Structure 1
Amino acid sequence: MLTLHRAALVLPDPADPTAPSHADGAVLVRGELIEAVGPYAELAAAHPAARVRDWGDALLTPGLRNPDGHRLLERAYHPDPREGVGEEPVPDGLVGEADGTRCGASARRGLQRMLGFGVTAVAGPFERVSVRTAVARSGLTALPGPASGPVDAGAVGVLDPLAVLPLAAAVHGRLAVGGRADFAVFAPGADGPLAGGCRATVLGGRLVFRRR
């Protein structure tokens, strides 16, 4: 099935200041791959049978890379809502934890929260088998992390890369014909997408997060 994702502004490669953008643009997705990127009117006319997801005044960009994956998934603990202790990750809550089931469940919850910020790639290293499995099954791209070294006790990391990085530094890859359809849709701000403003995340052509 063909799907057209329409947005007020499509930024195929925010990391390249010379790359073209598309006002009232669209990304055409077939299966898990991008088939075309360009003006919505042109793509809609060429593919009248495509399903349309219209994201209104939003910005559509490549998905984000979370550089804090090791701290967020290997060390921090993401509580189950049924535990009644809130949603924020607990610093070093998995340090010394040997229960792989608990670590894997925490990682799955952490990954789900990342999707809500437009993250489509996460940096390791992931040393726990249960965490590696959770990342692989999530569909997010696992990236090599920095060389092992001292880790600040109590440091959690940031779930939303846009809270600490400009868009050009936060995105992973670009929207290219033939590439995997990994992208995110954001509420617009004065200078780009709003931190915490992710409206939808698409992984391999699948809509995996949509803000209600």
Structure 2
Amino acid sequence: MLTLHTAELLLTGPGSTPLAGGAVLVEGDRIVRTGPYEELAAAAPNARVRRWPGVLTPGLLVRGADELLERTYYPDDPYEITELGAGPITGAAALDALKMTDARWGNSARRGTQKLLARGVVAVAGRFTVPSVRTAVVRSGLTVLPPLPYGGAPSLDPLAGRADPGEAFHGVLEAGAAARFAVFAVAGPAELAVRGATACVATVIGGRLLHRRR
């Protein structure tokens, strides 16, 4: 089935010229074509149309994801919030006090991957050694890459501290490429750099809508 995703602005990759009223035509898990909405709609009149506010970009890449998912615990909301608080828990002493098991790490990782999808992340780089975490990441749909260098502490928001959002893009949006992209409710790249990935309203991986802000 053909699906046409369109937004107020389209960025197909790092350094690309923003296209007002741009669109991405998807069939299955692949991009068929990108370009002006009117042009693609005329070429595929039977395509399902999804209209999004803001800017449509390639999905984001998080580096140091093993630190975020294997050495950070995300409390189960609402069941653990009163006892543990809502924020992520890090540090050897704090994690030891939780008496973490493989199953508990897996549940935490599932919550962590949902947080990543909600920030437009489509790929993670890291070396996962906890079996349940590795399973959770694979099942989430996120692409897993080998470890990549990164500066500072890893963040759930790959746009944090970046003046150019394109530095966090994973791949480009072009014919034949995997249908992996995100949409952010911002006016353009400058506002995206300021607001960060929490402005995400939709994340598509393999042509499937895996996150949509309600």
- TM-score normalised by length of structure 1: 0.88
Q: For each residue in 1:129-174, what CA deviation from the matched residue of structure 2 results, as whole angstroms up to 9, or x when unmatched?
A: 1111111111101111148xxxx9xx6x311111222311111111
Taking the TM superposition and a 5 Å limit, the aligned residue runs for 1:1-212 are: 1-13=1-13, 15=14, 17=15, 19-56=16-53, 58-81=54-77, 82-84=79-81, 85-92=84-91, 94=95, 99-146=101-148, 157-165=154-162, 166-189=164-187, 191-193=190-192, 194-195=195-196, 196-212=198-214
Q: Secondary structure at the match of 2:90?
A: coil
Which whole-Å CA distance do the structure 2 matches of 1:192 and 1:172 have between them? 19
Task: Give the deviation of 1:87 after TM superposition.
Answer: 3.3
Amino acid at match of 1:33: R
Q: For each residue in 1:74-112, what CA deviation from the matched residue of structure 2 results, as whole angstroms up to 9, or x when unmatched?
A: 100011111123432111355696611111111110000
Structure 2's unaligned 5+ residue stretches are none
Which whole-Å CA distance do the structure 2 matches of 1:146 and 1:180 have between them? 21
**Share of identical aligned residues, percent?**
51
Structure 1's unaligned 5+ residue stretches are none
Which whole-Å CA distance do the structure 2 matches of 1:158 and 1:42 have between them? 38
Which whole-Å CA distance do the structure 1 matches of 2:58 and 2:106 have between them? 27
**Aligned-pair Cα RMSD in Å:** 2.0
Is the Cα–Cα contact under 8 Å of residues 3 and 53 in structure 1 kept in the other structure?
yes
Which whole-Å CA distance do the structure 2 matches of 1:180 and 1:121 have between them? 12
Which whole-Å CA distance do the structure 2 matches of 1:4 and 1:209 have between them? 17
Task: Give the deviation of 1:50 after TM superposition.
Answer: 0.6
- TM-score normalised by length of structure 2: 0.87
Which whole-Å CA distance do the structure 1 matches of 2:139 and 2:64 have between them? 19
Q: Secondary structure at the match of 2:7?
A: strand
Q: Which has the higher helix share?
A: 2
